[in-house]
Chain A
């Protein structure tokens, strides 16, 4: 896998992780939105934290589209969960939060799962009379 492809996977992880954090920070500032005032949600992007979260999520989305153009969804998904590992490590080493043993085991399991899947093929291919091609082209 080329450097660019690893870079896109990294952008997916960073964009979605930090995007969610900033969205949550912004929505905490805005406060609870009751069902009767649902239309307040439409103005949520005016909050600077929500706006920054949206920019990060757009970076995530473009990288996600590009990655799905060359790899299966079932290949991309585990790779993107690496964000949880990142959050837990940041919480421990930068914020000094206590990380219990179960969480370390969780980190180990995600890392092992991600390492295992990225070592395999990234795209489903099916044989056709002309050779092999991505399966959906063969089905559509």
Chain B
């Protein structure tokens, strides 16, 4: 790990994870409210799709969180190695998204999805050790 101490490194990663998750949650909620793009395109063409997305407030919240997380990622990459930042933030974002999908988005996270989630999470950890 270069330049940063343990505390500052993890603080940077947690900020990144928080922003990533907020972005994913808001975007997912926006797209669920917008509905299937292919059906929208059949009804109103590509402009109909763009219009539906742009009139959804959650989309802007998601975009703001993703833009902030992008700059947080750039800052993190200039301070911490890629091989630390990406796996750490990816696995923690994965975990917080899975919990967010269940409790915030009220998705039906079935046993199949939990098992898949645990397999993938374990895989991410092993891949980067």
A23, A81, A134: the one contacting B94 at CB < 8 Å is A81
| Assembly CA distance A120 to B117 (angstroms) | 13
Number of interface residues of A (CB under 8 A): 56
Contact B32 A110 (CB under 8 A): no
Q: Out of B28, B87, B90, B124, which one reaches A68, CB within 8 Å?
A: B28
Instruction: Give the most central of A24, A33, A73, A134: most B CB within 10 Å.
Output: A73
In contact, A116 and B112 (Cβ under 8 angstroms): yes
Separation of A106 and B120 alpha carbons in the complex (Å)? 8
Taking the closest CB of chain A, its distance from the CB of B38, in whole angstroms, is 7
Contact present for A23 and B33 (CB under 8 Å): no
State in angstroms the CA–CA spacing of A106 and B31 once bound together: 31
Q: Could you tell me which residues of chain B, from 88 to 129, have a CB within 8 Å of some CB in chain A?
A: 90, 94, 97-98, 100-102, 105-110, 112-113, 115-120, 122-129
The number of residues on chain B lying at the interface, defined by a beta carbon within 8 Å of a beta carbon of chain A, is 57
B interface majority secondary structure: helix
The 4 closest A-B pairs by CB, nearest first: A106-B126, A113-B119, A109-B123, A110-B123
Given A24-B77, A136-B29, A84-B123 contact (CB < 8 Å): yes
Decide yes or no: A32 and B78 within 8 Å by CB, A74-B97, A74-B102, A103-B127 being known contacts: yes
Contact of B124 among A24, A81, A102, A124 (CB under 8 A): A81
Q: Determine whether the beta carbon of A20 is less than 8 Å from that of B86.
A: yes
Report the minimum CB–CB distance from B39 to chain A (whole Å).
Answer: 9
A74–B98 contact, CB under 8 A? Answer: yes
